[in-house]
Structure 1
Amino acid sequence: MLDNLQRNVLSNLDLLLTGLLTTIQVCTQAFLLATVVGLAACLIRLYVPALKYAAIAYIEFCRSTPMVVQLLWVNYVWPEVFGFPGTVIGAGVIALALQSSGYLAETFRSGIEAINKGHREAAMALGLSPARTMRRIVLPQVVLEMAPSLINQLAVVLKSSTLVSVIAVPDLMFQALRLVDRSLEPIEILSSVAILYIAVITSVSLISKLISDHFRDKYGLSIKQ
């Protein structure tokens, strides 16, 4: 078993680490895009009556469509219809962002609706515009209060990213499956990949929690109002 580990994993560690870097790149871009799009969908649903049902339809579509279907749809249909994305990595980023944006939109909505209305009223009494109230008063509280849900969604993106290998994105799973096909010895390779994913997801969760706890304590949000 040690010989197999040396031959199939340690000797190909550079290839696996390259795949891991691609995974991190895809997940980071997808999560940032999902956050922006999800917040936009949430705000449209809450504050733009004319587009409310379009936003709801978008959110439900993103939440209800299987990840593999979204990957194949974005990778094979979008280039023909919209002219982009031009790369499989771009398709992976967009597909991951689509699904996550639907869940994040609902996370933001629940957070905004949970904010004490007195905060908005106080801001308006001080002469702040609705847009500035949202930007300076509401959204910072929402982000900090929803931090656990945001961290959980980031972990979901990391785990879902294993599926981008279906469209040949050269991520960690793709590289691992190439090694398995070449060696026909999956035990050590896939076990090592599982450990890498556990290490990454655990590290991201811990770091994110430390950061969110710091800011929650700094701004007094750890104490329920």
Structure 2
Amino acid sequence: MKKAKRLLLPVAMAATLLWSYLVPDAANFQRPELARIFFWHFPSSIVLTGLLFVGAYFSYRVLSTPAGPSRRAWDLRAVSALELGVIHSVVTMVTGIVFSLTQWGKAWQWDPRQTSFLLFMIIYGAYFALRAGIADEEKRESNSGAYMLAALLPMLFLIFVFPRLPAVQQASFHPNETVMQGQLKGAYGFVTILSVTLVSFVSVRLYRLRVRVELALLNHGHLETDRRSATSDSVVRPVRLPKAN
């Protein structure tokens, strides 16, 4: 049974990949056969958004928890989610660049949506730059948690609000919602849903594995610290030696 469960994921991924090449080409694109990169661009952006909210929630828990092992554990969860989000943001950007190259003839068009996502990645990356620049553990936890909560709204604005402004939609080469809704029907829609499901499932598994390993290392570190403290705190009683005759 366990072996069957382990085989289920790679089989599902292979089937989804194969199906994504067998579906009919999407209409209304310059290179319809290459528009299927959307199957991996869209799921990564969806999972990225979910990881942002997860990281923001854990950052809130960091700020609402007194300094100590518990807050360190919340910080670990936040960082694990946001580091996984970096992977999805890179996949989203790279697949978007490939889409731009194949459909519009240039890898970078300074399209409003490309630019807004680049700004998003800069704000996102500043979180890790902030953490890297603070040596003190407690200050790193509190400052990075506060930054994440402060940066959440600007990042969500760049992802959801800015691209949907009327002026931006008119100037953008990016497929609008009307075009994409027309594609998400039949086999194209099924493959998209399956891709989102698989990418989400793999991301959750990777996140849980990372947190489990990091928490185990954290607990091991606490045990080692407690042992050293117990050894250093041991009291040595003075012994009176008999006087030599």
Instruction: Give TM-score, length-normalised by structure 2.
Output: 0.31
Structure with larger Rg: 2
